[in-house]
Amino acid sequence: MEWLVLLWSASQIAPLVAALPEFILLGNILQWALLGTLAIRVLDAIVARQAVLEDSNDDTEALRYRSFRVVSGTIVIVGLVLSLSQSSVGEGAIYAWVWRTCWVLAVPITLVLLSWWRTPIFGRLRSRGIQSRITRWVVANERGVVSFAATIVGATWLLANGVGRWLIARAYRTCRACLLRRRQMGRALPGHQDR
């Protein structure tokens, strides 16, 4: 974060130096690298905070951080190459080629992430008390030809379930705070009697 402030202040203090192509190149590289690092840390902090609030024993902390680093690193590299090609030669053939190629990178990265998360996904689905048809199918297909498809379905189900629980908890806390505020305001009014 300090490097971003330094880069910004240097570009504001010395605009002639900031116009040099070397400084623009260095600025692009630093900006993408630092923003990628910031994104990793913010996402990891958000997820870790949620795990602390839910009082869960999160044994996947290192795996989560490594996954964020791979995804963020890939985005930073592709974004940096796109940014550098746009600033040096414009949005021509190289830019279009890199943009098309980045989607090809999504397949091996997804496969790597699925292989890393396979054990935690199946472990969490097995440990659930009530099993739906989807989770029973996923757990039954842990090995074999359809295991990657089962891992994708299991990860999607866990993600949707987690987001749904988070939204419900957020709505509950908001409603509870609203009712508490109403109650406090009602007590502050003259002539109000507690019932």
Q: Say what the pLDDT of residue 175 is.
A: 92
Q: What is the pLDDT of residue 171?
A: 92
Which of 13-22, 74-83, 147-156 comes out lowest in average pLDDT?
A: 13-22
pLDDT, tens only, 11-52: 677 776 666 777 777 777 878 888 888 888 888 787 777 666
Tokens of 152: 């994708």
Q: How far apart are CA 152 and CA 138, in angstroms?
A: 9
Q: Is the pTM of this model over 0.75?
A: no
Please give the Cα distance from 185 to 172 (Å, whole number): 20
Instruction: Give CA–CA dist 86/18, Å, rounded.
Output: 18
Query: What local confidence, expressed as pLDDT, does residue 50 receive?
Result: 67
| pLDDT at residue 17, as a whole number | 65
- Please provide the average confidence, as pLDDT, over all residues in the chain: 80
